[in-house]
Structure 1
C-alpha cells in the first residue's frame, strides 16, 4: 500500500512537470502557429527554473498529498492561483534574464491554457487512481455528536474511495442523521459494549475514532489496531491537538515531550516584520479595488463606507476591527448581536459580492499595521459570542493565547458554516504548528479559497 502511494505521488509530480511546460508550448503555438526558434530556445533554457518553482508551489498547495481523500474542488481550484503565480514567476525571469524574451501575449494566453490543461490532467489522474485503487472499507466509532460529522466528511472525499460498512455510536445518532440529512447505507450499532470483540469479527481495513471517547477505550483501540494490523485514524480532541505540537527531547536516557507555548514566541519577530511588509504592500496594490468599492457602498445605501466592530484578540484584549460595510446601516439595532445567515436580508447587494470575494476584509490590513491583528491567526470573534463559546466549549479560551488574524487554518480547511468546535480544532492546530513556511502555505491557500463559493460564502 505504501509503495503504491509513493508511486502515485511520483506519477503526479512527473505529470505536473510535463503539463506545466506543455501549456507554454501550446500558448506559443496559439500565438505564432508554430515555435519561433529564438523564443523557444530562450524558453527551454528556463524550463528547469519554472519546473522547480511549479513543483514547490504545488507542494505548498498540498497537491501531492493523497488526492483520493480530498474534495475535487480542493484540487482543481488550487490551479487557478497557482497558474497566476507561475506566470508571474516566468515574467520575472524574462525581465531578469536578458535572453528570455517573448511577447506578452504568450503570458496572457498561457493563463487559461495552463488552468485547463492542469485541471484536465489532474481529473484524468484521479480517474486512473480510482481505477487502480481498491475502495477502503471503513468502520466508524463515534460519540457525542461526532459520528454524523465524521460520516459527512468521509462522504465528501473522491467517489467510492471509502465505503462505510459499520458504525458504532451512542444513542442520539438518529437526531444527528436528520441534522446532516444523510442516508444510512451501513450496519448501525448503538452502544459501545464489547467493541473490541465485534471489531475482531469485522476485521476492518480502516477505523475512524472520535476524540470524545474515553481515554481507556481509545488506548485499547490503539493497541488492538497494532495487533490486528488495521489502520486507525483519530479525530483529535483539543488536548490531543495541543500535544501534537510537542518536541521530542531527551532527559538522560528518558525520552520526553516538551510542550510548546501557544503564543508562537519562536518566530514572533519575523512574523511581525512579515505582517508589516505584507499588509503595507497589500493596502497599496488594492487601491484600484478599494476606491470603486467605497463609491459603490455609498451609492447603494446610507451609512459609512467602513464598519467598525469590537472583537477579541490575544489575551482577551478588545479592539475595533475595520471592514467595508456589507449590511444596511444599524443592522443590529432591533436584534442585538446576531450571526449572519445564508439569506440574511440585512446584507446589501454590494455586500454579498464583497463577502463572497472577501474584499470586505481588506481594511483589516490597517489593524495588522497597528499591531492589533496578524495576517495569520484565529479569526477574532465578538465579545458576546466569545462568552457563549467559552461557556459551552471546553478549551475555547486557548485560541486567545495567539494573536487573531485576517485568515487562518480554519478559513482554508473549514467552511464559513463550520461549527465553532471544528474551527477551534483548526485554530489550536495552527497555534501548535505555527511557522513562517506554514504561514506562507495558509496565505497561498487563502487565495485558492476565494475562488471556492461554498468556503468563501
Structure 2
C-alpha cells in the first residue's frame, strides 16, 4: 500500500528544484547577454540568485505550490505555475530596484521568465503524471448504513475527477476479514457510525497501512488548535474562545485598509465598465444593496454588482442561488464566475463592516434556518465577514452549508496574517476556474458508478 499524504521531504525536494530552475535561468541569460568574461562581475550574479530565491519562495508559497502536491488537479497545477511566475517576476523586479546595486534589465528578466515558466510547467506536469502513475487509482470503500451519506460521498468523488480515487464498494458493517476491506486502499467512515465502530476501523487501518477518510464534526473543529498543558501529571489541551486577539484584529484591519484601497484603484476601470454594461444588458441598476449579518450578527448593507434579473425574489422571497439558476443573466454568469460581482464590497471593507478575508456574510432569513439545523453556525460571527475566504477557494457556489461552515470554523480557529495573504492570492485561481464557480456534475460517470454499487446501495 502506498501512502499519498504529502511528505515534508518531497516538499523540500520540489521546492529545491523549482528554485534551482529560477536561479539557473537567470544565470544562463546573464551570460548570454554579457558573456562569460563580462566585467559586470560575479557579485551581481550572486545577488540576483539570492533575490531570485527570495522572490520565488514568496510567490510559490502565496499560491500554495507546496501543499497537497499529490492531490492537486492538473488544471489547478497549471494555473498555480502561471500566477506564481507572474508574481515572481513582479517581486523580483521590486526587490532588485531596492536591494541590488545594479537592477537587472527588464529584457533579461522577461526573456528568462518565459523560459523559466516553460521549464517549471514541464517539470510540474511531469511530476503530476509520475505521481499518478506511481500511486495509481486508489480504491475507496464507504463504510456505514447511512445511504444518503453514501450517495453524497459517491457524488463528491465523481466531481473530484482527478484520476486519484475510485469508489469500488459500500459496506454497511465493517468486517476486517472481508476481501473487499483487504483490497481497499482507503476506508471512508460514515459520519453516523458510533464511536466504537469508528475506533475499530481506525485501529485496523493504522495496523494494516491503510488510509482513513473522516469528515470532522463541528466539535473537532471548535476544539482544534489547542495548547498542551499539564495539571500535575495529567496532559490536557486548553481551548479558548473562537475570537481574534486585539493584536490580530489591529493587524487585520491595517491589512484590510491598505489592500482594499489598492484594489479599488487597480480595479476602477473594471468597476466603471461593469457599472455601464450591466444596465445596458438587463433592466435595472448596476449596483444593489442587501441586508446581511456581520460581526457579532449585527445587520449591515452589502454592496454588489447585480448578476440576476431585477427583483429576482419578488415572487419567491429569499432563495439561495443554485447551479444553472434561471434568474442569473448572461453577464451575471460571467461576473459571478470571476467573482467580479463582489468588487463593490471593497467599500464595505473600507467602512469597517467587512474584512477582505472571512466567512461570507449571509441574510438573517437563512441564518435562522442554518442555526436551527447547525447550532455551531453562530461561531462564524466571531470574526468579520469577508469578500473571500477558505470556503470560497476550496468549495463551490453549490457546496452544502455545513461543508462551508467547516472551512469558516477552521479559519476562525487558525487565523494568521500569512493565511490571509495566501487566501487573497489563491482567490485569483478561483477567478479563472469557472468550473469551481458553477459547481460540478458528471452524469455519465455518476450512472456508471451507481451501476457498479447498485447491489449494495439499492
Q: Scaled by the length of structure 1, what TM-score is found?
A: 0.83
Instruction: Give the RMSD, CA atoms, in angstroms.
Output: 3.1
Q: 1:327 aligns with which of 293, 297, 308?
A: 308
Aligned counterpart, 1:374: 355
Q: Which residue of 1 aligns with 2:34?
A: 36
Tell me the equivalent position of 1:260: 240
* Match in the other structure for 1:225: 205
Structure 1 pair 161–44 and aligned structure 2 pair: CA distance change class (3 A):
same
User: In the alignment, what sits opposite 2:318?
Assistant: 337
CA distance in structure 2 between the partners assigned to 1:135 and 1:299 by the alignment: 50
Does the Cα contact within 8 Å between 1:356 and 1:453 map onto a contact in 2?
yes
Asked if the contact 1:69/1:158 (under 8 Å) is kept, the reply is no
SS across alignment from 2:70: helix
Distance in 1, matches of 2:74 and 2:154, equals 17
Deviations 1:223-276 (A, max 9, x none): 343444533232211111222232222223221111131122362221122122
Structure 1 pair 138–162 and aligned structure 2 pair: CA distance change class (3 A): same
Give a deviation string over 1:78-122, Cα, whole Å, max 9, x none: 123212210111211332245443443455555655544333221
Q: 1:410 to 1:6 in 2, by over 3 A?
A: closer
Q: Which residue of 1 aligns with 2:442?
A: none
Query: Counterparts of 1:7-406 in structure 2 under 5 Å?
Result: 8-21=10-23, 28=29, 34-37=32-35, 42=44, 45-97=47-99, 99-109=101-111, 113-133=115-135, 135-142=137-144, 143=146, 145-155=148-158, 160-164=163-167, 186-189=168-171, 191-192=172-173, 195=175, 198=178, 202=182, 204-265=184-245, 267-406=248-387
Distance 1:4 1:86, change over 3 A: closer
Indicate if the aligned counterparts of 2:186 and 2:212 stay in contact, CA closer than 8 A: yes
How far is 1:128 from its partner? 2.1
TM-superposition CA deviations, 1:47-66 (whole Å, max 9, x none)? 22212332343234332234
After TM superposition, give the deviation of residue 218 of structure 1 in Å. 2.1
Contact 1:279–1:365 (8 Å) recurs in 2? yes
Consecutive unaligned residues in structure 1, runs of 5 or more: 165-185
CA drift of 1:358 comes to: 1.6
Cα contact 1:409–1:427 (8 A) shared by 2: yes
What is the aligned partner in structure 1 of residue 419 from structure 2? 438
Distance in 2 between the 1:405 and 1:444 partners? Answer: 14
Once the two structures are superposed, residues 373-426 of structure 1 have per-residue CA deviations (whole angstroms, 9 ceiling, x without a partner) of 111111011222222222333422322232211111100111122111211111
Partner Cα separation in structure 2 for residue 54 and residue 339 of structure 1: 41
Structure 2 Cα separation of the partners of residues 110 and 295 of structure 1? 40
Q: Aligned with 1:332: secondary structure?
A: coil
Structure 1 residue 44: Cα displacement = 5.3
Distance 1:447 1:25, change over 3 A: farther
- Contact 1:260–1:432 at 8 Å: present in 2 too? no
State how far apart, in whole Å, the 1-side matches of 2:183 and 2:327 are.
53
The answer to whether the 8 A contact 1:141-1:210 is kept is yes
Cα contact 1:93–1:100 (8 A) shared by 2: no
- Deviation sequence 1:108-165 (CA, Å, 0-9, x none): 555655544333221111122233335544332243633334344445667554444x
TM-score by length of 2: 0.82
- Is the Cα contact below 8 Å between 2:355 and 2:387 reproduced in 1? yes
Change (3 A) 1:124 1:297: same
SS at match of 1:456: helix
Paired residue secondary structure (2:432): coil
Q: For 2:314, what is the secondary structure of its paired residue?
A: coil
Contact 2:337/2:434 (8 A) holds in 1: yes
**Contact preservation (8 Å) 1:376, 1:404:** yes
Which whole-Å CA distance do the structure 2 matches of 1:212 and 1:283 have between them?
47
Distance 1:111 1:242, change over 3 A: same
Change (3 A) 1:303 1:160: closer
Residues 310, 319 of structure 1: 8 Å contact kept: yes
SS at match of 2:380: helix
- The answer to whether the 8 A contact 2:142-2:170 is kept is no
Q: Secondary structure at the match of 2:428?
A: helix
Measured in 2, the distance between the counterparts of 1:4 and 1:398 equals: 31
2:399 aligned to which of 418, 430, 442: 418
Aligned partners of 2:64 and 2:426 also within 8 Å? no
**Number of residue pairs the alignment of both structures matches:** 430
